[in-house]
Amino acid sequence: MNIFVAYVSVFVLAAIPLFEAYGVIPVATIAGLSVLPVMVLGVVGNIATVLLVIVFINQIKNWRKKRKGNNDEKTSKRSVRAQKLWGKYGLPGLAMLGPLVVGSHLTALMSITFGGTKRKTFYWMTASIITWGFVFTILILLGIDFLGLEERGFINYFDIEQ
């Protein structure tokens, strides 16, 4: 396995809504990859796809309407949580807390749906992803240091030329 492939995987996985940057950063760090490139690639990958959601929001809304039809079924639990955050804290609160509750991509979608502008949503979502990426990086580093796992990344068991 090439180290380049490992870092590209970090970028790609962070871009996938299910994984997010704050999920990929700890896993890649525990795996033994260098912390700074993992954090930067994870955050950039996550921001890139959130930007795509924001830019193509109208197409995404139209696609969802066609997929669900015109039925106004009950709203999901995620939507209800996002609406509560929006009502209580506005765009900054939803952007900063939403990624932990519903994920950054859905948070961006909800922020614009609830009335945020694309520009402000992008700024707040970028700040949120960078903040949570940094927080989770610090937490994983403190955990690795506390547990004494500095040289135990499972990627170290493979023959990787750096």
- The answer to whether 93 and 63 are in contact (CB under 8 A) is no
Report H helices in 56-117: 57-68, 77-101, 104-113
pTM above 0.85, yes or no: no
Distance CA 124, CA 114 (A): 14
Give the pLDDT of residue 156. 54
Give the pLDDT of residue 62. 86
Give the pLDDT of residue 70. 60
Give the pLDDT of residue 38. 95
- The answer to whether 132 and 99 are in contact (CB under 8 A) is yes
Q: What's the pLDDT tens digit per position in 77-105?
A: 777 877 887 888 899 998 999 898 889 99
The number of angstroms, rounded, from the C-alpha of 105 to the middle of its chain's C-alpha atoms is 7
Give the pLDDT of residue 95. 92
Give the pLDDT of residue 105. 92
Q: What is the largest CA-CA distance in the chain?
A: 56
pLDDT under 50 in the chain at which residues? 159, 162
Give the pLDDT of residue 80. 80
Backbone conformation region of residue 72, classed left if phi is above 0, alpha if psi is from -120 to 50, else beta: beta
Give the pLDDT of residue 157. 52
Burial 54-80 (b: 16+ CB within 10 A, else e): beebeebeeeeeeeeeeeeeeeeeebe
Backbone phi, psi, residue 19, to 5°: -90, -45
Distance CA 94, CA 99 (A): 8
Give the pLDDT of residue 133. 94
